[in-house]
Amino acid sequence: MMMKYELGHIPIEEIAWGQKTSVEGTLLQINREKLLEKTRGDDSRITSVRADIAKPGESVRIIPVKDVIEPRVKIDGKGGVFPGLISGVDTVGEGRTHVLKGCAVVTAGQIVGFQEGIIDMSGPGARYSTFSKLLNIVVCIDVKNGIAHHEHEEAIRLAGLRAAAYLGEVGRSATPAHLERFEMRPPFRSKGDDLPGIVYLYMLLSQGLLHDSYLYGQDMKNLLPTLIMPTEVMDGAIVSGNCVSACDKNTTYHHQNNPVIRELLNRDGIDLHFLGTVVTNCNVTLKDKTRSARYAVKLVHMLGADGAVITKEGFGNPDADTMMYCARLEEKGIRTVIISDEFAGVDGASQSLADTTPQADAVVSTGNANEPIALPHMDKVIGDIRVIEKMAGGQAGSLSQKGITVELQTIMGATNELGFEFLTARDE
C-alpha cells in the first residue's frame, strides 16, 4: 500500500515582534509574551526565558547555542510534530505538514555541558553554518540553580520544541508557496528493478548524559536499531538531546532536514533505489556497540541493499561504531560510503580518526574541526561570550581585544556529519 506525505513550504523572509503571532505573505510576526509563555510551558524547572531575533548579516553572535529547531505543524494525518515529547506517540510521516522555511528557533542560555556552540550572523564564521543564513528566534532559557545536568538538558530541549511548535502553528492556515509530494512504498524491492538499491544507515549518538538522541521520545541508547520512514524524520520523530561538540552534533533542525534522506528521495527511481532507513545508536560499551552493529547490518541486509550510506555524529568514540558498521557491511558485500568529519589537529598533521578499517575506502570528509578560525567581535552578543573559553574548541585566552580565536569545532554545524554543509578537507 502506498503512503502519501506532503510537505508545504511557507517561505519566511522577514520576521518581527508584533501584536499577534501570524504569517502575512512572507512576514512572520510574533507576539513575544505569548512566545515566552509557550516556551516556558508549565515546566517549574525554568526560571526565566528571554527572546531575541537574529537576522543574517547583523553583527550578532549567539552563544552558547544548544539546539536549533525548525517550526513545523501537522495539518493532516496522524500525530503531531516531535511525537513522544510534546505530541502523542502516534506514528507520524503520513498526510500533510507545513514548514516555516527560512527561520528557526535557537535555544541558548546557561551552559549545560561545555559543548554548546556559536552562531555568528555575519563575518567569517557565518560562512560555516547554515544557521547563520536563517532568521533566528533565539530563546535564552535559564533554569533553577543546582538542577542536575540531565534535568537542565531536558528542560531546555522540551522548551525549544514547544517554541518551535508554537511558531509552526501559524503555518496551519497559511497557503504553501509550494508543495513537495512523497510516496512511500513498502521497502522491499520489486522484481525487474535494476537500479542499485541503497539503504541509509543513520547513526544517532547515545552515549548517556548530555550525549543522547530521542526517537519518538525514546532514549536511543535503550533501543535496538530499527526502521524509519523518511517522512517520519521530517515530522520531528528524531530529536537531539546532544551536547557534543557544536560542529558535529546533529541538531533537531539537521534531523528534520536530513540531507542524505533528501538526496536519496530526490534520486530514487532515477539512478538509485532508496530501500529504506535504518536508525541505530552509538553506545559506549563494546558489547552495546557490537550488538547494535550486528543488528543494524542485519536490517540493512534484509532490505536487500547493494550499498549503504553511513552517517555519524560526534567524534572519537563513535569512530569505532562507524568502522564496525562499515566493515560488517562490506563483508556482506554491501558497498559503503561514510560521511565523517576530521580531528586532524590545529596543524592538520595528525591522524583524523580514532579508529579505522581497511574497508573504509570511500569516505566523504566534512572538514577538519580543529582548524583554527579568528572571529571578530560582534556588536551584539545574545547569551554570554565568556563561556567561549570553556567550550570544546575554545581555550583559556580564546577571548582577546580583537575578537575570539577558536577551533571550527565551536561553530554550530560547521562539520555536520549528515553532509549538510559544503566544507571538506584535503591533503596538502
Partner 1 sequence: MRAVLYLNQFFGQIGAEDKADLEPLVKNGSVGPGNLFRELFGAQVEIAATVICGDNYFAEHIDEATEKVLSMIADYAPDLVLAGPAFNAGRYGMACGAVCEAVAKHQGIPAVTGMFPENPGVESFRKTVYIVKTKATTVGMREAAEKMCRLVLKLARKEPVGLPEEEGYLPRGLRRNYFAAENGASRAITMLLRKMKGETFTTEYPMPVFDRVAPLPPVERMSKATLALVTSGGIVPKGNPDRIESSSATRYGKYDISALQRLSPEFYETAHGGYDPTYANEDPNRVMPLDAARDMEREGKIGRLHPYYYATVGNGTSVARAGQFAGEIAKDLIISDVRAVIITST
Interacting residue with partner 1 among 120, 153, 319, 421 (CB under 8 A): 421
- Of 314, 284, 283, 280, which is closest to residue 300 (Cα–Cα)? 280
Nearer to partner 1, 213 or 366 (CB): 366
For 264-274, give one letter per residue: b (16+ CB within 10 A) or e.
bbeebeeebbb
Interacting residue with partner 1 among 365, 398, 409, 410 (CB under 8 A): 365
C-alpha cell recorded at residue 292: 547494535
What distance in Å separates the CA atoms of residue 296 and residue 204, rounded to the nearest whole number?
Answer: 12
Residue list 148-187, contact with partner 1 (CB under 8 A): none
Contact between 193 and partner 1 by CB under 8 A: the answer reads no
Interacting residue with partner 1 among 246, 264, 275, 300 (CB under 8 A): 264
Contact between 398 and partner 1 by CB under 8 A: the answer reads no
Interacting residue with partner 1 among 35, 81, 134, 198 (CB under 8 A): 198
Q: What is the DSSP string of 73-139?
A: EEEESSS-SSBTTTB-S---SSEEEEEEETEEEEEEES-SSS--EEEESSSGGGGG-GGGGSEEEEE
Interacting residue with partner 1 among 391, 408, 411, 412 (CB under 8 A): 408
Interacting residue with partner 1 among 3, 223, 272, 284 (CB under 8 A): 272
What distance in Å separates the CA atoms of residue 334 and residue 328, rounded to the nearest whole number?
Answer: 9
What angle do helix axes 286-302 and 317-331 make, rounded to 10 degrees? 40
R_g over Cα of the chain: 21
Interacting residue with partner 1 among 366, 398, 409, 410 (CB under 8 A): 366
Contact between 339 and partner 1 by CB under 8 A: the answer reads yes
Nearer to partner 1, 167 or 339 (CB): 339
Interacting residue with partner 1 among 27, 88, 400, 422 (CB under 8 A): 422
Q: How far is the CB of 418 from partner 1 (least distance, A)?
A: 6
Q: Of 103, 140, 243, 282, which is the active-site residue?
A: 243
What count of residues does the chain have?
428
Within 8 A by CB and 6+ apart from 57, the residues are: 121, 122
Total residues at interface with partner 1 (CB under 8 A): 56
Residue list 299-318, contact with partner 1 (CB under 8 A): 306-309
Task: Kindly tell me the burial class for residue 75, based on how many C-beta atoms sit within 10 Å of its own C-beta (0-12, 13-18, 19 or more).
Answer: middle
User: Which range, of 9-17, 59-67, 89-97, 419-427, touches partner 1 by CB under 8 A?
Assistant: 419-427
- Of 302, 289, 417, which is closest to residue 365 (Cα–Cα)? 417
Nearer to partner 1, 110 or 257 (CB): 257
Contact between 420 and partner 1 by CB under 8 A: the answer reads yes
Interacting residue with partner 1 among 362, 381, 385, 387 (CB under 8 A): 362
Q: What is the DSSP string of 226-271?
A: EEE-HHHHHTT-EEEEE-S-GGG---HHHHHT-HHHHHHHHHBTTT
User: Which range, of 42-50, 106-114, 140-148, 263-271, touches partner 1 by CB under 8 A?
Assistant: 263-271
- Whether 243 is a known active-site residue: answer yes
> Position 143: which residue type?
V
Contact between 348 and partner 1 by CB under 8 A: the answer reads yes
Cell 549518538 sits on residue: 205
Contact between 292 and partner 1 by CB under 8 A: the answer reads no
Nearer to partner 1, 99 or 247 (CB): 247
Which residues lie near partner 1 (CB under 8 A)? 127, 196, 198, 259-260, 262-264, 267, 271-272, 306-309, 335-340, 342, 344, 347-349, 351-353, 356-358, 360-368, 371, 408, 416-428
Positions marked active-site: 243
